[in-house]
Amino acid sequence: MKGIGALLKALTLEEKASLIIGAGNWTTAAVPRLGIPSLFLADGPHGVRRVVDEQGLGIPGLPATCFPTASCLASTWDTALVEELGRALGGEAKALRVDVLLGPGVNVRRTPLGGRNFEYFSEDPCLAGELAAAFIRGVQSRGVGTSLKHYAANNQEYERFTVDAVVDERALREIYLAAFETAVKKGAPRTVMAAYNRVNGVRACEHAALIDGVLRREWGFDGVVVSDWGAVKDRVVSLKAGLDLEMPGPRKDRRRAVVRAVKSGALPPRVLDRAVRRVLRLAAACAATSKGGATDWEAHHSLARRIAGEGFVLLKNEGVLPLGDPVRVAVIGRSAPEPYVQGGGSSRVAARRVDVPLDEIRARAGGAEVSFCEGYPAGPVIDQRLVDEAAELARRAEVALVFIALDEFVESESCDRTTTDLPANRVALIKAVCAAQPRTAVILGNGGVVTMEEWIDGAPAVLETWMAGEAGAGAIADALWGDVNPSGKLPETVPLRLADTPAFINYPGENGRVRYGEGLFVGYRYYDYRGAPVRFPFGHGLSYTTFEYGRLSFSETSFKDADGLTVSFEIANTGTRAGRETAQVYVRDVRASLARPVKELKAFVKTALEPGERKAISVHLDFRAFAFYHPGLGRWVAESGEFEILVGSSAADIRLRGAVRLRSTAGEPSLLAPGSSVRLWLDDERGGPLVRPLVEKIEAALSKEGGGGMLGFILESPLERLLRQWEEPLALNADETMADIMRRLHGKFSAPKQPRRPGGHGGGKGNNKEARKPGKRNLGKGIQEKK
């Protein structure tokens, strides 16, 4: 290809319009006379789905490695392993002549009912963002582009093409955009895919504030923004918003519309050229790596097995696992011979081979007698004959292994689940087998979490294997016999019941809108804030060994926000088996001016330890680890004050904690106004000293008159109103006094301008949870957002 500038000059208007709209279902337009190649795009997140017919949907596509899905991958909490997966996927994409792999998916799991949760990493944006960045780095190291998706607030399949996600600005920034931001800044994907849905009334593909504002100007993204397939409504409007490439094509009507808009003056030529320039840069980057070549499929199959083993989560174990050397093993459940390895939809891979759990168990069991029965049919209907047969088989064995999976396509693109409960026939089977055999292990296969209250108390051991990919069966045998020590940790909270979950009241929405009424409080943030019990907390996962944490220290106990903080501690393996432990570092803002979660994950480290081995761990927490997004100021703010650093094995298992003090280096202008309540004035760091003497005089006067009960009325009154009411008793001029207070308040600071907002509603709920408890007068530094 020639230089980009030369190509732009040589292209005709019609050719430029063709380059920003797909040429087929999976290809971009080529301009042969100028040497501009067509690019091939292909799904997906856990395997390459390269279609045979370039103009067809092609599900599932050419054979490729089916790796574990994102739910299993996320449970590894291992960025190095995810990057290794990315390199393997990039290699397969290159061999299959794919230029851009459409992944990873980084949307937050807002509700456990999400049909595509198996494609997404986590309920937490820190974990999701770091893993996505690693995935991107791995794939793109092989010369193949990635497409970070689905931007943004695309958190359900119900009405996914049209639904309007109504989300406040803090939740949007801190939860739903944060993982994208990390992936963009640390992974540098070549493309970002804009979603189908609306965000606060604006189509994601036409959302200039999100695309041109946040993504490009704030985060510095310089790649191509591509539409989800068929998501563009108006090509000219989306082009102006910053969407460079519409897929799929061909859409002659769209090309003509762009040409007409340029000729009529409705679309500035520079806007079209901007998009064409980005598409040309992508084409040049992809063309720099020749496609084709061989793939070591056996090596990738082995990698898929290793990833699966690292992602399995041992939820419960009352001494049943590892198995040891049983003589009689009962294998029960239809998913033992028919494994549930992936979900439905565009991510579905044509696996080159799929290992079978029953076969792998027979191979690993050696000379043991391994018997099998189906246990349950497809669907929810209980077949009592199968249940009774399974119970009797379990009773005669030394150990029972119950394989439980959801029915195929229950978890899929285009449809959300309707429940988190297992089907009735699986529940009946688990109960019967566990009652018959005290040494029973339940092996779960699912993409999103399932609730377990009907049966968990009776199950001695539970191993969550997710959708484990084509080699998951061998990994299951490895974990059951202890050849691999389970080290996975939950990327999503397992609730007691669906009704306990944060989005339960607001999902799926009505009249085309879904309101994110839980705000920031998604996943463990919600359960922490409410003090609500859960079945298994975020980050939970057992091991066949034990770990001890100690020696917590900080680079400084008082530090500047710009410098950040280094947290150091030690982990020791105090058991008899080698194992891997993921240490999770959470930050708690002890006192904040706006509502904040009780704690938030800000770093994690997975480390391997031999028995008796001890390792020193250090992580650095930067400014953002302590900051929240302030809608009134339109930026991230880290307030001076005390923070608590929490290090644990899960969100509920905190092993170490220590306090540090942050010193803000940013001179934040006050958002107090004459109409702000007296309470907010008193709680403000600079406003309090200015009004406290006046308030104390009023309190004293009221006390003399027996009006002490009016204190609450005073605190909730706007300051300017209170001054007018007490103008005569205090012998002051209300207007002059208010003006003087405002001058002294701002000092060298000028009143802030209202920021441009990406469709959010802004605003916070006031102060943090602790400060807002009834009976406390000092409620923190409460800041009134300007209206």
The answer, yes or no, to whether residue 772 has pLDDT greater than 70, is: no
194 bridge partner residues: 151, 227
Q: What are 671-721's pLDDT values in tens digits?
A: 899 999 999 999 888 899 999 999 999 988 888 876 666 778 899 999 999
In this prediction, residue 565 has a pLDDT band, given cuts at 50, 70 and 90, of very high
Q: Residue range 436-452: average pLDDT?
A: 98
**Which range among 58-67, 455-464, 469-478, 598-607 shows the weakest confidence by mean pLDDT?**
58-67
The residue annotated as part of the active site, out of 43, 99, 228, 416, is 228
* Mean pLDDT taken over the chain: 93
In this prediction, residue 667 has a pLDDT band, given cuts at 50, 70 and 90, of confident
Q: What are 286-329's pLDDT values in tens digits?
A: 999 999 999 999 999 999 999 999 999 999 999 999 999 999 99
In this prediction, residue 752 has a pLDDT band, given cuts at 50, 70 and 90, of very low
Q: Residue range 377-396: average pLDDT?
A: 97
Residue 707: predicted pLDDT: 63
Q: Residue range 509-522: average pLDDT?
A: 98
Residue 477: predicted pLDDT: 98
Q: Is 535 left (phi over 0), alpha (psi -120 to 50) or beta?
A: alpha
The answer, yes or no, to whether residue 89 has pLDDT greater than 60, is: yes
Q: Report whether 554 contacts 568 (CB < 8 A).
A: yes
With a pLDDT cut of 70, the percent of the chain lying above it is: 94
The answer, yes or no, to whether residue 750 has pLDDT greater than 70, is: no
Per DSSP, helices labelled H in 397-451 are 424-436
Residue 708: predicted pLDDT: 60
With a pLDDT cut of 90, the percent of the chain lying above it is: 89
Helix (H) or strand (E) holding 178: helix 178-187
Catalytic annotation on 228? yes
Residue 778: predicted pLDDT: 29
Q: Which residues have a Cβ under 8 Å from the Cβ of 50 and sit 6 or more positions away?
A: 40, 42, 61, 62, 64, 93, 96, 97, 98
Tell me the CB-side half-sphere exposure of residue 197, using CA atoms within 13 A.
24
In this prediction, residue 767 has a pLDDT band, given cuts at 50, 70 and 90, of very low
DSSP-assigned letters across all residues of 673-727: -TTSBHHHHHHSTTHHHHHHHHHHHHHHHHHHTT-GGGHHHHHHSBHHHHHHHTT
Q: Residue range 368-380: average pLDDT?
A: 97
Residue 709: predicted pLDDT: 65
In this prediction, residue 86 has a pLDDT band, given cuts at 50, 70 and 90, of very high
Residue 765: predicted pLDDT: 35
Q: Which residues have a Cβ under 8 Å from the Cβ of 770 and sit 6 or more positions away?
A: 590, 591
Q: Residue range 453-476: average pLDDT?
A: 98
**Which range among 342-346, 422-426, 703-707 shows the weakest confidence by mean pLDDT?**
703-707
Residue 684: predicted pLDDT: 87
Spatial distance between the Cα atoms of 600 and 587, rounded to a whole number of angstroms: 5
Q: What is the pTM of this model?
A: 0.93
